[in-house]
Amino acid sequence: MITLQTIEFLRDIAQNNNREWFQENKDIYQKTYDQFKEFVGNLRIAMNEYDEIERSKVYRFYRDLRFTKDKTPYKTHYAAHLTRNGKYRRGGFYFQISAQEAMVAGGFWKPNRDDLLYIRQGIMGDADLLREALKQPDIIDRFGTLQGDELITAPRGFDREHPDIDLLRKKQFLLIRTYPAKAALDDDFHQKVAQDFQAMIPVFDVITDYLIYDGNGVERE
């Protein structure tokens, strides 16, 4: 579960992001981190009512300082990722809690070069499938529209005047929703997050088809 102490700890670490303060408050960190892991476990159980989750991962709180100029040692949020089971269930689920907000996100965060090409080819073949999924009221009400990084112009080899260029420019295909942090204190919040994740699945299914089947409907090897 996520408690008020969780939010307060994340607020305080943002203001005191140093090893001395952390060591003095490490017991609070461990308690709230363990509670977050419990929340993620409950979220995974709830999600298995709608989908098949292969595994869940709670991210480390310690920052990797090797390749960054920002040497603050700790993150200011707790986060987890849920992986779907099998090649026919593509797309991932992500949850993050900070002192300011709870973020629910999912989709295709960083497709590799081949997968991105397959998605774009799928859009070229039948963009209406994706557009219809994105028009569903449950998607619009919860997430608005697709988010994520995109190119300024057309990808190499694609016509910049193509009618679906708005989709073809995308490098990420994400659905994101935020809540005030204190919304996460509700006992049933993991169920609300699971329902948000469930709502994403029709969009995931379309992009999964783009990834699995070529333009002739033949499954890729």
Distance of CA 27 to the CA centre of its chain: 29
Q: Does residue 184 lie within any of the structural domains?
A: yes
Q: Does residue 84 lie within any of the structural domains?
A: yes
* Domain enclosing residue 131, as ranges: 4-212
How many distinct structural domains can be found in the chain? 1
Other Cβ atoms within 10 Å of 62 Cβ, number: 10
Exposure string over 123-144, b if 16+ CB within 10 A, otherwise e: bbeebebbeebbeeeebeebbe
CATH number at residue 111: 3.30.930
Mention every residue, 6+ apart, whose C-beta is less than 8 A from residue 148: 107, 109, 170, 171, 172, 173, 174
What are the DSSP E strand ranges found in the chain?
A: 53-58, 77-84, 92-98, 101-108, 173-180
Q: Tens digit of pLDDT for each residue in 70-128?
A: 789 999 999 999 999 998 999 999 999 999 999 999 999 999 999 999 999 999 999 99
Lowest-confidence region among 8-17, 32-41, 67-76, 180-189: 67-76
Structure pTM? 0.95
Q: Does residue 219 lie within any of the structural domains?
A: no
Q: Does residue 221 lie within any of the structural domains?
A: no
Across the chain, what does the average pLDDT equal? Answer: 95
Mention every residue, 6+ apart, whose C-beta is less than 8 A from residue 29: 9, 13, 22, 61
Residue 11 has pLDDT above 80, yes or no: yes
Q: Does residue 218 lie within any of the structural domains?
A: no
